Amino acid sequence: MRFGRLCVSLFVLVAVALLTGCRQNVDLEALAALSKSVGDSQAAFASLSEDFHQSCVRTVGWQRAADPNTFSDCAEEARAARQWTSADSVVTAYIASLGALAGGASDPGDYGISDFFQTLGNAGVTKTFKADQLKAATGFTKSLIDNFFKVKRREELATVIPAVDASLNGLIATLKEVARTNYVNQLTSERTAVKLFFEPNIARAKPGLETLYAFTFRETEREEQAKIDDKQAAIANYIAALDQISATHHKIAEAIKNNRTADVAGIIRGYAAEYGPDIRALQKAFK
């Protein structure tokens, strides 16, 4: 009898040691939190990339106001904007998949273990557990099963994250470049189109009443240029948000490679503190 208990105790100790010793440096809850914050920002990213097309539409509006014979359907710009949005989605979908793999919000309950133990007691296989004993036995068994699956999840994550790190960083570098150069070029075209409409009309104003009207005209032009300024300022937030995803992912990949226990939660806490303000600024610029 004592030998049996000893065997059971040894088995439990070995099982717990195995379950807690493997790949514990991937913090599942922290990864799920990272995934949620990136998932929430998908719409903010899309508002910027889709504005690449919207800016073309606005530009053509100003161009036509200056010369009604001008026409462009912005088809090329629409296609480029869709591709940019899709590339953004590849990043956010990847991070979301890490969150799902980390466990997300899924709760398997107690796997029906308490009912099982009660039945064992009723059948006379074991003694009948008192309420607190049943709770303890159920909790222990559930945590053993949970840990088994957590180890599996950590192993999968520890395979995926380092393998994808270089590709993610490369893609993010491209997305930043598109925002920094191409979106800025598009906004520059829009600025020039705004000037093209307003400035010759202001220059044409004759002394007197027309000059007076020109003041309000100038003010409207400033307002239009300010809207473009806000959008251009949001590029910095988009780039900062992407930088944070890239840097956080890279640090997690390094923590996994170097088996640095407990680094991941700290890395993600640092990321969460900086990521939120950039996303809120993006949402504000394109509301």
Partner 1 sequence: MNLARALNAIAGNLIPLLNSASADPSPESQANAASLTRVINALLTDAMQANALDVEQKLAAAADALQRLTAFTTQADAASQRLAKQQSNVTRFVSLATNVGKLIVAAASGNVVAAGTAIGSACGDLGI
User: CA 177 to CA 76: how far, in whole Å?
Assistant: 19
182 binds partner 1 (CB under 8 A): yes
> Which stretch in 6-14, 107-115, 229-237, 259-267 sits in contact with partner 1 by CB under 8 A?
107-115
> Which residue in the block uniquely carries the two structure tokens 């003041």?
215
Residue selected from 41, 47, 186, 246 as contacting partner 1 according to rule CB under 8 A: 186
> Which residue in the block uniquely carries the two structure tokens 């640095």?
260
What string marks each residue from 128 to 157 as x (binds partner 1 by CB under 8 A) or -? -----------------x---x--xx--xx
Q: What are phi and psi of 41, to 5 degrees?
A: -90, 0
CB atoms within 10 A of CB 14: 10
Residues 2-21 that bind partner 1 (CB under 8 A): none
User: CA 233 to CA 255: how far, in whole Å?
Assistant: 34
Judged by beta carbon, residue 1 or residue 209, the one nearer partner 1 is 209
Residue selected from 9, 20, 128, 185 as contacting partner 1 according to rule CB under 8 A: 185
Please tell me what DSSP assigns to residue 103. T
User: CA 248 to CA 44: how far, in whole Å?
Assistant: 19
Contact 208, 185 (CB under 8 A): no
Count of chain residues binding partner 1 (CB under 8 A): 72
Residues 189-218 that bind partner 1 (CB under 8 A): 189, 192-193, 195-196, 199-204
Judged by beta carbon, residue 22 or residue 202, the one nearer partner 1 is 202
Judged by beta carbon, residue 1 or residue 125, the one nearer partner 1 is 125
109 binds partner 1 (CB under 8 A): yes
User: CA 282 to CA 270: how far, in whole Å?
Assistant: 20
CA distances from 13 to 6, 7, 141 (A): 10, 10, 13
The first and second tokens of residue 174, run together, are: 């491209």
Question: Least CB distance from residue 3 to partner 1, whole Å?
Answer: 26
For residue 174, give the nearest of 263, 279, 86, 283 by alpha carbon.
86
What string marks each residue from 64 to 103 as x (binds partner 1 by CB under 8 A) or -? --xx-xx-x-x-xx-xx--xx--x--xx-xx--xx-xx--
> Which stretch in 6-14, 112-120, 223-231, 276-284 sits in contact with partner 1 by CB under 8 A?
112-120
Residue selected from 9, 119, 220, 259 as contacting partner 1 according to rule CB under 8 A: 119
Question: Least CB distance from residue 108 to partner 1, whole Å?
Answer: 5
226 binds partner 1 (CB under 8 A): no
User: CA 169 to CA 193: how far, in whole Å?
Assistant: 35
Q: What are phi and psi of 141, to 5 degrees?
A: -65, -45
Residues 155-174 that bind partner 1 (CB under 8 A): 156-157, 160, 163-164, 167-168, 170-171, 174
